[in-house]
Structure formats: C-alpha cells, structure tokens
Amino acid sequence: MSDIADGLVLRASRLRKEYGKGEGLVRAVDVVDLEVTAGETVAVMGPSGCGKSTLLHLLGGLDRPSGGEVSLAGRRIDRIGEKALARMRRNAVGFVFQAFHLMDELTAVENVELSALLAGSSPRAARRRAIDLLERVGLADGQVSSHRRCRVASVSGSQLPAR
C-alpha cells in the first residue's frame, strides 16, 4: 500500500544535514526518522541551536540533506530538481517564518498577492485574494485601501508582523 493510501503525508528516513568538513564539521541534523500522517499535528521542540530550523528546512524542501530521504505526499523531494522543488513548495507546503521576509519596495497588498502571481493566478484574481486575506487579519476597509499605496516599511508594526 502507498504512503498516501496509509494517510502518510511526510516521511523522513535517516535524515542528516552537515555543514563544514573535517574538524569544522557540524552535524545540524543527525539521523532523524519521522512520519507525519494526514491531520496529525507535530511540534518540533528543543534548545536554541539544536537543529529545529534546519530540520524544518529539510522537510519543506528549502534545503538539501547531506544524507537520508525526505518524501512528501509519497514523492521523494530530496532527489527532485530545483524547478520541481520550487513548484512543490509553492503548491504543497506552507511556511511561517520567524522573520517574515517582506519586500520593502512592495505595498502590503503586493506582498500578499505575490505568491498567487507566481503560482499563475491572473493579476485581478491575485489582487482580490490579497485584499480578502488582509481583511481576514484585520486590515479591512479604509485600512486596506491605504495599504494598497503604502510600502510595508512604512506600515505600523502593530498592523503587519515584525520583520
């Protein structure tokens, strides 16, 4: 039976990530095995510097492992090319970063609509969706229209997440 038929959506097997060489070798992730099924919630916990972020980057396809395997929805993502990996991240994985990496030269609406445009949505559909999402998080009515013109660097920190 396939992983998907079993409800398995994410699998890591003997996953490793190393930086450096020789005496400077750092094992950020050292032989991790993990399975996550549909609907399951998983927390990755540990002290600062123990490899949590590196593990999440490997599982989400933001970084390549030094060894081991990562499968998402039954597909090995540690072996696929960069273009296929970018498509997979865009369509199947969501990230909420500690630092939000907003683009200062874009408005709040433009920052939100960017991923939809990259995924092939029409500019009109991407704009409608971005406005809807901003309204859902409390940037409604007059606030949204003002954010269409304001660069994110000038928006109050209480209105947009800290960067």
pLDDT digits (tens, 9 = 90+) for 103-145: 888 888 898 899 889 888 999 999 999 988 888 887 755 554 5
Interatomic CA distance for residues 13 and 17, integer angstroms: 12
In angstroms, the Cα distances linking 125 to 48, 105, 118, 130, 146 are: 41, 22, 12, 9, 20
**pLDDT tens by residue, 30-87:** 999 999 999 999 999 999 989 999 999 999 999 999 999 999 989 999 999 999 998 8
* Residue 88 φ/ψ, nearest 5 degrees: -60, -45
